[in-house]
Amino acid sequence: MQSSITQFFKAIPTNKNSQTSQIGAPQTCTPPSKRKKSNSSSSGSEKQKKSSQSITKNVKKPKIQKSISAAIQEKLGSSDEEELSSKHNKNLNNEVAQSGTDDEECSTKNLKKKRVILSSSEDECEINDDTNRTVHEKKDNTNKDDSPNKLANCNKKPVEDKSKPAEKNVFSLFATSSNSKDTDTSVTPYNPNKDNYHPIKHACWKYKEKVPYLALARTFEEIEKISARLKIIDILSNYFRSVMVLTPEDLLPSIYLCLNRLGPTYEGLELGIAATNLMKAIAQSTGRTLSQIKSETQTTGDLGLVAEQSRNNQRTIIKPAPLTVRGVFEKLKEIAKMSGQASQTKKVEKIQAMFIACKQAEARFLIRSLAGKLRIGLAEQSILQALALACATTPPNQEYPPKILDCSKASSFKTNYDNLALILKTSYCECPNYDLIVPVLLREGIEKLPEHCKLTPGIPLKPMLAHPTKGVQEVLSRFEGAKFTCEWKFEGAKFTCEWKYDGERAQIHINEKGEAYIYSRNQENNTSKYPDIISRLNNCKTDQVQSCILDCEAVAWDVEKKQILPFQILSTRKRKDANEAEIKVQVCVFMFDLLYLNEHEGQWRFATCFDTSTMEEVQEFLEESVKGNCEGLMVKTIDKEATYEIARRSRKWLKLKKDYLEGVGDSLDVVVIGGYLGKGKRTGTYGGFLLACYDQENEEYQSICKIGTGFTDEDLQTHSEFFKAHIIPQPKPYYRYDNSHLPDHWFDVVQVWEIKCADLSLSPAHKAALGLVDPEKGISLRFPRFIRIRDDKNVEDATSAQQVVDMYNNQDQIKNQATNSNIAEEDFY
């Protein structure tokens, strides 16, 4: 392994006695209350003009685009609302509904008393009498792609009883309460959660029409209601099937909106919209005050729900064009790219323009997307699985109308589905860029992805991770007994041990143009964080290297003493746009794998390594690594099956840390889901926290322990201030916990902590790995203590339920529960 790297890269020596060497020297929308009357003939229909005339019979006519609340306040002052309603209804009762207008049809029978009701729906008007009701629907006179009647299936919902008295508020003349629904019973609302779903008949748009954003919002609504992973995958796959058949060009923006991203992670395109600006946009768009929005958000804990309720309470006279998936995605990208002094104002205006066009659940999920979290428990692995299921059920590369709509009844379906899912996940791990994957998938199918989406310099892949072990003997027994080494005898087993450095994973890419990039383990672009590494690259590679991908670890480095410094010092470096001349914390890069070289898959210091096959030598090397300020050892096979497995936590790599000899082998990375208010000297902060592991199979966070030790007073203050901004009113449906450990406050899942414990035990109160070891008990941690925050990990990278089971079974006191025959490679993380 080392010999292949040294052919093309050279270490920069520090001194002749050292075994290793250093890398080197250090559409603008005006608020409703301020709009002016439009003179355009297309700005309103005859119906709108007649409604306006009748409303203003006793009241001076407000400007047509002013908000309802502003018009009432301006023209009528503080008149009693009941009096207003009485006058309004009296005027309306004197009006005669007209038919045959330019943009709507109306037919009525046996009308005894005509009364116009303005509903919350922007697509129809109802005329009711004692026994009859007719529904007026607008004809299609707008843009072909975005016309309201083509989105009929999406917009309609069952009729709600109108007999209940309306709530008293300033909007009562013109808008119904937030509980009102669209009123058309003739069409079933779009619902991807149907049995025997038909991708054409059950869709709410037609062939080549843009996908309405409301269809995606309805899909999110259905997903939010449930927590079962397989059902979530099924619902999302139905939506994807319709998109692929009817409007395949909208598949890519649909995927990104499901992920709540604007592009590949490494491109770093983020919205960066502050909650205050979102509240301001909602308030200005609905005529409400900022204090009202803030108050309701604190009560509900969800700005998206507040936005939806506020928007549904609003009645606009001039109906904007419906939102589409493609349009929303492009506008979000425009917002993200805005910069400069006036950028925040421009962003608010752009958000207002979209928000005014929202219907029903669109407002909820638009605001959540802008805030950075959909909050529906939809993980990327489920999105990939749903995409594979959609392709297996309805193959994408067909002409319209497709001959094959549903393959799910075929005998070979399960095998084909599993194969497609594996190909898709593997291709994404090697080339995590949907901009490249989706066009190939639509054009040639998933089967052809490996031919086009390969390891490419400039596109970071998900790194291989190692499985934890408890001690030296376990390392050797695993290599002896696991399937891939089953023919090896202990004396003949060959493997290498490398020091495990306590730093930050650095995946370094050099393309054929000589451009260099550095990515984190989560594919974030860290190039601007490490300009000092970039400047040294040319001194480290030979002339033979044209392009390459290197897997490395960057650690803080004492240049004078030639020693590794603690991780905490490395974490003080500036995260972005660092100036090399101003850098105070120097780094050294340790390279341990060459993944790609010159179009072939396959201050520098090479990782200190030692090839061995004896337990005594491993023990000695472990002690040396600890003395060298490292975490421990990485043990890798160097003979058979010595492969680099992208995005897998593989048992072909094992990590042996210094802490492993102190009880539990590895530390755990857990997610904080709740807080307990402090008492005594901890009053005013959180005195303890509820922690959870992540169950990848069910995509839920399972409680694993309550922690209150390992914190300094400064830690508690910092954690309290941080989590106060992430309090939610109630636990998410994908939290599993016991009522005996209810926290004072629930938190959204936003941060990962590294913790240590004395051991693991079965627990009736905690839900970690529930049913995997004991059918009625989960696993909990005894005497947990806080180590540090893991900013380099996403919440879905937390220790999995299966890893918790492995750690539990590896304890000395647990006999005959974890055997080599039960060892299996884990899926992609």
Q: Got the DSSP string for 640-701?
A: TT----TTBEEEEEEEEEGGGGGSSSS-EEEEEEEEEE--GGGTTSEEEEEEEEEETTTTEE
CB 371 within 8 A of CB 278: yes
Q: Got the DSSP string for 101-163?
A: -TTEE----S-SS-EEE--S-SSEEEEE-SS-EEEEEE---S-TTT-GGGGHHHH--------
Question: How many Å apart are CA 316 and CA 335, to the nearest integer?
Answer: 24
Residue written as token pair 């400047």: 535
Residue written as token pair 């339920």: 801
Q: Going by C-beta distance under 8 Å and a sequence separation of 6 or more, which residues neighbour residue 520?
A: 504, 505, 506, 507, 526, 792
Residue 448 neighbours by CB distance under 10 Å: 15
The DSSP bridge partners found for residue 351 are none
The DSSP bridge partners found for residue 753 are 670, 789
Residues involved in catalysis = 489
CB 176 within 8 A of CB 120: yes
595, exposed or middle or buried, with CB in 10 Å at 0-12, 13-18, 19+? buried
CB 690 within 8 A of CB 677: no
Q: How many CA atoms lie within 13 A of 106 on its CB side?
A: 23
Q: Going by C-beta distance under 8 Å and a sequence separation of 6 or more, which residues neighbour residue 652?
A: 484, 636, 637, 641, 642, 643, 645
CB 172 within 8 A of CB 85: yes
Question: How many Å apart are CA 728 and CA 72, to the nearest integer?
Answer: 36
Written in H, E and C, the secondary structure of 417-477 is: HHHHHHHHHHHHHHCCCHHHHHHHHHHHCHHHHHHHCCCCCCCCCCCCEEEECCCHHHHHH
Question: How many Å apart are CA 284 and CA 683, to the nearest integer?
Answer: 39
392, amino acid identity: A
Instruction: Calculate the alpha carbon distances from 577 to 207, 214, 582, 603 in Å.
Output: 46, 39, 11, 21
Q: Got the DSSP string for 277-333?
A: HHHHHHHHHHT--HHHHHHHHHHHS-HHHHHHHHHHT---SSPPPPPBHHHHHHHHH
Kind plus residue range of the DSSP H or E element containing 767: none
